[in-house]
Chain A
């Protein structure tokens, strides 16, 4: 696993925790523990995403990495072998 793959895996791991916590919060919006868990992983996810985007290009269409040049179109796209 190269550095890009490792960093992407980190983003995916934190992002999965955020997504799962959000689903739980949808039906338990008053749960303070779940919200604390969500906030913790949201922060870690944002940091990992920023680090990834700076090195390897945008993950979101409104990423700052698109400001100087429209890097959004750069491959590989997520379904391609070399993106994973």
Chain B
């Protein structure tokens, strides 16, 4: 069970929109090393973790990754507010906009939708730990 705190982990206050930046930053939401994948990785692996300490840390890191996802989504959301049709077209945001408008949809920067194939949960603690180390080398 989870409880929501009605605040971001760190403030996001972007006054100037920038759809070109949003196109790149969104990969940290739905891309192969994004926060959604990170949250799912740890929250899936925790069930078969071998010790109470590892169960606790996977549980709590997985939870915090959801908070990171919320900040990334807030950044993308704020970067793409009130765009004109001209801005959408010229920034190249049009390829995303045609399907999702200003909705937040987990995709890689190149537009490929989020896939659970970007992470692994093997039931083997050493294999999972190796996967986690590889992932953490790339995750913010």
Decide yes or no whether A27 CB sits under 8 A from chain B: yes
A26 touches B60 (CB 8 A): yes
A60 touches B3 (CB 8 A): yes
- Interface residues in B, total, Cβ within 8 A: 26
Q: Contacts A26-B56, A58-B6 given; indicate if A79 touches B77 (C-beta within 8 A).
A: yes
Q: How far is the CA of A84 from the CA of B9 in the complex (A)?
A: 11
**CB proximity of B48 to chain A, nearest CB, Å:** 17
Choose one: A11, A29, A61; the contact of B7 (CB below 8 Å).
A11
A23 touches B7 (CB 8 A): no
A84 touches B61 (CB 8 A): no
**CB proximity of B54 to chain A, nearest CB, Å:** 8
Choose one: B10, B60, B70; the contact of A22 (CB below 8 Å).
B60
Interface centre among A15, A27, A79 (most CB of B within 10 A): A79
Choose one: A29, A61, A83; the contact of B3 (CB below 8 Å).
A61
A29 touches B70 (CB 8 A): no
Q: Write out the residue numbers on chain B whose beta carbons fall within 8 Å of the beta carbon of A8.
A: 7, 11
Q: Write out the residue numbers on chain A whose beta carbons fall within 8 Å of the beta carbon of B12.
A: 79, 84
- Interchain Cβ contacts under 8 Å between A and B, 8 examples: A11-B7, A26-B57, A27-B56, A27-B57, A58-B6, A79-B77, A84-B11, A84-B74
Give chain A's interface residues, CB within 8 Å of chain B: 5, 8-9, 11-12, 15-16, 19, 22-23, 26-27, 29, 58-62, 72, 77-79, 81, 83-84
